[in-house]
Amino acid sequence: MGLKSINGHILRRLIIAGANELSKNKQLVDSLNVFPVPDGDTGTNMSLTIISAAKEAEKNMSESISDIASVCASGALRGARGNSGVILSQLIRGFSKAVNGKDEIDTVGLSEAFQKAAQTAYKAVMKPKEGTILTVASSCAQASQNACLETDDIEDFLEYVIKEADETLLKTTDMLPALKEAGVVDAGGKGLLFILKGALYNLKSGSDAVLNTENKNTESTENIDISALSTVKAEDIKFGYCTEFFILKPNASEKELDDLKEFLLSMGDSLMLVSDDEVIKVHVHTNHPGLVIEKALKMGALNGLKIDNMRIQHTNKIDFSNSASKNEEKSEPKKRGFISVSAGSGFDEIFKNIGVDYVITGGQTMNPSTEDILKAIDKVNAETIFVLPNNKNIILASQQAAKLTKDKNIIVIGTKSVPEGISAMLNYDDSMTDEEIKESMEEGMEYIKTLSVTFAVRDTVLDGKEIHEGDFIGMLESSIVSVENEVAKCTEELIKSSVDDDAEVVTIYYGEDVNESDAEKIKEYVETEFDHCEVELHYGGQPLYYYLISVE
């Protein structure tokens, strides 16, 4: 007799198994990115996101599907990386909404959850495109409606949904011109199907699932500055216990959040309080973690509780580490602050020199998560904070972090490249209002063209150009302009095709794999060929991209 319902225990297994399956196949998903560049990371971003959900599920032993779905939604929300990861987090969030308050669901309830998942994900994207993960999620939702009428067996239900979604995935190749030209299916849709197939495999085996050990080390870690700790005595630390937990409190009101914030501020410092429709995340340094927990328990059940004795940690860090960080622990209070994502050590310094308070390491090769951005927001002590994602794949995560922040005004500037971010900062005028600053920054971005030079990681044909693995690729924004077998030749051809008579300034940022002398030759080429332009050369230090070039 087949399985007729799913409870919290089974959902925990399915989420973990789905995370494991995607983790095994993330490189395959990465390879499906349309552009054959080395930072195609859809599979990696989705894997890190679902692993964040699975970790929360692994820690929660509830038999209620509502409880497990809730912690998964919270984990995915904060661990979401890249656009694909944010969309996946919204799928999980929608699923969680549909099962809220239920201990278990049958195939009808599972269909309702699939439908709510797709609806929630579509709403999260400003301009949804068909031929993407959204299309595959919609296919799952539609197929589930038929499946629940045909069977009450969960395994048969999932097989039917996956079969229909697989067929839809194949059709995505013809839905978007870029996919068709590259001859691939949508990477995000493929990643979603790996999660569902992993869940189905586990359902058939009936075995427990354990998150792969190799997955447990994939979370990003911050470089913490402890160089000055030796001047502080452990006993002088004012609030000794770092206390973190989630409160399972759906739809907490503003008053409840304000009351909790006021109480926590009276109990300590370094407060981070964020919430969504399902949970409240609390981080506070206090001398009375018991009182904090007692207060939280009055609002709802707790999960993910962690209490660390910072005085002991302080002593251990002095004994075993002399590392230094790139960001101060907490900035001075100010009216406005700035956070920027940066793709290299040279860019880190540039952003700091033009007024950025906190630099998040990431960008092309590792998209920071929503949680990473929230941590940065917590470090900047300002009433209004402008966030510069500097990558189109980080904008959604930044916007999600803005929604989760309750005590500061967060303004996300839609910068899609590091040169756009630099231009936006240079257009900042402290005498303007926040809205005027936003408009000025966005206006400055409009006059920037971003060129990039990297290498191909696979053979393909794009924009009518035959590309072989190892070729050097020159791109204007997202269009491939030049394909050559030498970096310098590729870069010169790209610049020649992209700089026109209206250009006034060309700024060249060379990466970590480029010699300064080679970069100087590119600068000389531009000065000779385009003598009407002012040319600047800076070390960006970005990995994988030999040059990032700003034309304005």
Question: Mind listing the pLDDT tens digit of every residue in the chain (552 residues)?
Answer: 589 999 999 999 999 999 999 999 998 998 888 767 766 688 998 999 999 999 999 999 999 999 999 999 999 988 888 888 889 999 999 999 999 999 999 999 999 999 999 999 998 887 788 999 999 999 999 999 999 999 999 999 999 999 999 999 999 999 988 888 778 899 999 999 999 999 999 999 988 899 985 644 333 333 333 333 344 444 455 777 778 787 888 888 888 888 998 898 898 876 766 667 777 877 787 888 888 888 999 898 887 777 767 655 444 443 434 333 445 455 568 899 999 999 888 999 999 989 999 999 886 657 899 999 999 999 999 999 999 999 999 999 999 999 999 889 999 999 999 999 999 999 998 899 999 999 999 998 888 999 999 999 888 888 778 899 999 999 999 889 999 999 999 999 999 999 999 999 999 999 999 999 999 999 999 999 999 999 999 999 998 899 999 999
List b or e across 412-447, with b for residues whose CB sees 16 or more CB atoms inside 10 angstroms: bbbbbbbbbbbbbbebbeeeeeeeebbeebeebbeb
C-alpha to C-alpha distance for 212 and 214, rounded to whole angstroms: 5
Q: Give the list of residues 6+ apart from residue 217 with CB closer than 8 angstroms, or none.
A: none
Considering the domain boundaries, does residue 368 fall inside one? yes
Shared-domain flag, residues 526 and 417: no
C-beta atoms surrounding 107 within 10 Å: 25
C-alpha to C-alpha distance for 372 and 506, rounded to whole angstroms: 32
Burial status of residue 1 (CB atoms within 10 A of its CB: 0-12, 13-18, 19 or more) = exposed
* The pair of three-digit structure tokens given for residue 391, joined into one six-digit string: 């990558």
C-alpha to C-alpha distance for 264 and 448, rounded to whole angstroms: 45
Positive or negative CA dihedral for 356, 358, 362, 367?
Answer: negative
Bridge pairing between strands 334-342 and 358-361 = parallel
Shared-domain flag, residues 351 and 274: no
Strand, coil or helix: 514 = coil
C-alpha to C-alpha distance for 108 and 149, rounded to whole angstroms: 8
Shared-domain flag, residues 156 and 247: no
| Domain edge (last residue) among 179, 214, 249 | 214
**Of 166, 199, 180, 179, the residue nearest 50 (C-alpha):** 199
In contact, 498 and 485? CB cutoff 8 Å: no
pLDDT (tens digit per residue) in 516-537:
999 999 999 999 999 999 999 9
List b or e across 51-60, with b for residues whose CB sees 16 or more CB atoms inside 10 angstroms: bbbbbbbbeb
Shared-domain flag, residues 73 and 14: yes
Shared-domain flag, residues 368 and 517: no
Kind and range of the H or E run holding 355:
none
* The pair of three-digit structure tokens given for residue 470, joined into one six-digit string: 């190892």
CATH code of residue 273: 3.30.70.980
| Domain edge (last residue) among 186, 214, 242 | 214
Q: What is the value of pTM for the model shown?
A: 0.72
Shared-domain flag, residues 184 and 51: yes
Strand partners, 454: 473
**Of 88, 87, 86, 82, the residue nearest 15 (C-alpha):** 88
Shared-domain flag, residues 506 and 441: no
Considering the domain boundaries, does residue 458 fall inside one? yes
| Domain edge (last residue) among 412, 446, 480 | 446
Considering the domain boundaries, does residue 384 fall inside one? yes
Shared-domain flag, residues 154 and 284: no
- String of DSSP letters for 291-339: HHHHHHHTTSEEEEEEEEEHHHHHHHHHHH-----SS-SSPPPEEEEEE
Domain extent, residue 164, equals: 6-214
Can you count the helices (H) and strands (E) in the chain? Answer: 19, 18
Shared-domain flag, residues 144 and 161: yes
CATH code of residue 535: 3.30.1180
C-alpha to C-alpha distance for 527 and 57, rounded to whole angstroms: 58
Count structural domains, the chain.
4
Kind and range of the H or E run holding 450:
strand 449-455
**Of 284, 273, 280, 302, the residue nearest 243 (C-alpha):** 284
Considering the domain boundaries, does residue 399 fall inside one? yes
**Of 97, 159, 37, 19, the residue nearest 479 (C-alpha):** 37
Instruction: Tell me the one-letter amino acid at 257.
Output: L
Considering the domain boundaries, does residue 391 fall inside one? yes
Shared-domain flag, residues 429 and 466: no
Strand, coil or helix: 449 = strand
Shared-domain flag, residues 255 and 186: no
Determine the Cα angle at 487 with ends 481 and 492, to 5°: 55
Considering the domain boundaries, does residue 89 fall inside one? yes
Q: How far is CA 207 from the centre of its chain?
A: 31
Considering the domain boundaries, does residue 166 fall inside one? yes
Considering the domain boundaries, does residue 522 fall inside one? yes
List b or e across 351-370, with b for residues whose CB sees 16 or more CB atoms inside 10 angstroms: bbeeebbbbbbbbbbbbbbb
Shared-domain flag, residues 47 and 149: yes
